[in-house]
Amino acid sequence: MKVLVIGGGGREHAIVWKLAQSRHIDKIYCSPGNAGISEIAECIDVGTNDFGALIDFVKYEWVDLTIVGPEEPLSRGIVDAFEKEGRRVLGPTRKAAQLESSKVFAKDFMRRYGIPTAGYSVFSSSVHAEDHVRMKGTPIVIKADGLAAGKGVFVAGTMDEAIAALKLIMKEKAFGSAGDRVVVEECLEGEEASFMAFCDGKTVKPMASSQDHKRIFDGDKGPNTGGMGAYSPAPVVTEKLEAEIMEKVMWPVMRGLKAEGIQYKGILYAGLMIRDGSPSVLEFNCRLGDPETQPVLSRLDTDLVDIAFAMLDGKLSELDIRWKQKSSVCVVLASKGYPGKYDKGKVISGLDGFRDEPDVAVFHAGTAFDDGNIVTAGGRVLGVTALGSDIGSAKEKAYRAVGKIHFEGMHYRTDIADRALRRP
């Protein structure tokens, strides 16, 4: 079997890595891939939004399955384009992907179907948005409506921060047309968790729980990023809470989409705030989270290809999905300046330092080749991921591996998974 993976980040490296363990796989392609992915898949130089070229490639190479990693091609309708040509592709359609591509759509959808989320207002005028913020006061959350690579959400603790966020989004157009509208919502307090599930249009099966670290600095300080690390399982997601999330969030989403004539096949991710033991939705993603994918797939014990076809064929209810009884921690190594402007082309050393360690994997997020060297090519560069008997041992292994890697300007959080270790 031949499989094509769309994307070139840490999430896609983890997907390719897990696919390479499948008994079904003969060949893996990745578009565009990165330096790490090229070690286990053939990378092709086709853009993720060049649907015509991708479909031509799939036809020419007789690719059996395409798996879409990133949100942008999903939001642009890559699944619709592939399905129109009769090609098997895993991911939600353009209409379904609005749960992620439009914060306004998602909030209105949750309101229609009684899914718990923060109170909100929507604005297309920066003047009206500013008046509303001044009336509501802080802390307050301001979100660009469209996709912004995980950087379009601002938790403003002061009025100056709130006004600056509105200016950046709506006046300076830092995120382009994604900032034509903003969602201004109440700031929820509690503990965040990432809840991902496999969906086949009829059945929803939860993945192993995980928790992301969005802020750039230790102690959850500084601006939001795409994610600076993650761990699995997340102790905050107890069996009781998982059942409540399924009842109050995941199943209502599926029923609501069906009521609106939208079939959802693929991954549904709910970013949650847990307060007083109950979940509220912060955001939806319509694909695997990054970096949550790295520790979660490290724990997956069922063939990913079997899961993919069960989702496509509507047979998820027939599949027993198994998880390793281990814990996993992922630490993201970032370029200096991220999530703002950063340099590229810094030589990375130490990547061969733990190839003989079976419980450690380094997933490339932003890397490339230059004159025989592997160099930085993104804000988030690597996701150093380790398995352990518990969170503490997984964290120790991950940071020991981090200590063997170096590139100029490298920075990372030193407190990934500490929240789990502090829990009684």
3-state secondary structure of 106: helix
Q: Which residue has the tokens 């997907």?
A: 15
Q: Which residue has the tokens 């938790």?
A: 155
Provide the pLDDT for residue 356: 78
Same domain for 371 and 286:
no
Same domain for 340 and 309:
no
Same domain for 280 and 206:
yes
The CATH number assigned to the domain holding 273 equals 3.30.470.20
Amino acid letter, 301: D
The CATH number assigned to the domain holding 412 equals 3.90.600.10
Q: Which of 215, 227, 232, 230 is nearest to 381 (CA)?
A: 227
pLDDT tens track for 14-39? 999 999 999 999 999 999 999 999 99
Quote the pTM value: 0.94
Same domain for 18 and 84:
yes
Same domain for 131 and 65:
no
Tokens of residue 336, six digits: 């200096």
Handedness of CA 82, 86, 87, 91 (dihedral sign): positive
Residue 247 Cα to chain centre, angstroms: 23
Instruction: Tell me, yes or no, whether 117 lies in a domain.
Output: no
Instruction: Tell me, yes or no, whether 302 lies in a domain.
Output: yes
By the 8 A CB rule, do 224 and 155 touch?
A: yes
Residue 163 Cα to chain centre, angstroms: 28
d(CA 362, CA 353) in angstroms, rounded, equals 11
Instruction: Tell me, yes or no, whether 200 lies in a domain.
Output: yes
For residue 139, cis peptide bond before it (omega within 30 degrees of 0): yes
Same domain for 249 and 153:
no
Residue 315 Cα to chain centre, angstroms: 25
Instruction: Tell me, yes or no, whether 103 lies in a domain.
Output: no
For residue 32, cis peptide bond before it (omega within 30 degrees of 0): yes
Instruction: Tell me, yes or no, whether 256 lies in a domain.
Output: yes
Strands 65-68 and 2-7: what pairing? parallel
pLDDT tens track for 96-122? 999 999 999 999 999 999 999 999 999
H helix and E strand count, the chain: 14, 22
Same domain for 130 and 66:
no
Three-state SS string over 35-93 comes to CCHHHCCEECCCCCCCHHHHHHHHHHHCCCEEEECCHHHHHHCHHHHHHHCCCCEECCC
* Count of domains forming the chain: 4
Same domain for 142 and 34:
no
Angle formed by the axes of helices 103-112 and 251-259, nearest 10°: 100
Instruction: Tell me, yes or no, whether 237 lies in a domain.
Output: yes
Same domain for 236 and 277:
yes
Q: Which of 99, 92, 61, 62 is nearest to 78 (CA)?
A: 92
pLDDT tens track for 165-188? 999 999 999 999 999 999 999 999
Q: Which of 118, 182, 119 is nearest to 148 (CA)?
A: 182
Instruction: Tell me, yes or no, whether 157 lies in a domain.
Output: yes
3-state secondary structure of 98: helix
The CATH number assigned to the domain holding 57 equals 3.40.50.20
Which regions in the chain score pLDDT beneath 70? 424
Strands 65-68 and 89-90: what pairing? parallel
Provide the pLDDT for residue 424: 67
Structural domain ending residue among the three candidates 91, 117, 145: 91
**Cα angle, residue 36 at apex, residues 90 and 400 outer, rounded to 5°:** 115
Residues whose CB is less than 8 angstroms from the CB of residue 133 and which lie 6 or more positions away in sequence, other chains included = 140, 142, 156, 159, 162, 163, 166, 184
The CATH number assigned to the domain holding 157 equals 3.30.1490.20
Handedness of CA 37, 42, 47, 52 (dihedral sign): negative
Same domain for 176 and 208:
no
Distances (CA, A) of 106 to 115, 249, 257: 10, 12, 11
DSSP 117-131: B--EEEES-HHHHHH
Same domain for 257 and 232:
yes
Structural domain ending residue among the three candidates 180, 207, 226: 180
Angle formed by the axes of helices 10-19 and 304-312, nearest 10°: 100
Q: What dihedral do alpha carbons 78, 84, 87, 92 form, nearest 10°?
A: 40
Q: How many CB atoms lie within 10 A of CB 302?
A: 13
Q: Which of 45, 42, 34 is nearest to 369 (CA)?
A: 34
Instruction: Tell me, yes or no, whether 112 lies in a domain.
Output: no
| Residues of the domain holding 165 | 125-180
d(CA 373, CA 366) in angstroms, rounded, equals 14
Same domain for 216 and 299:
yes
> In terms of residues, how long is the chain?
424
Structural domain ending residue among the three candidates 267, 291, 318: 318
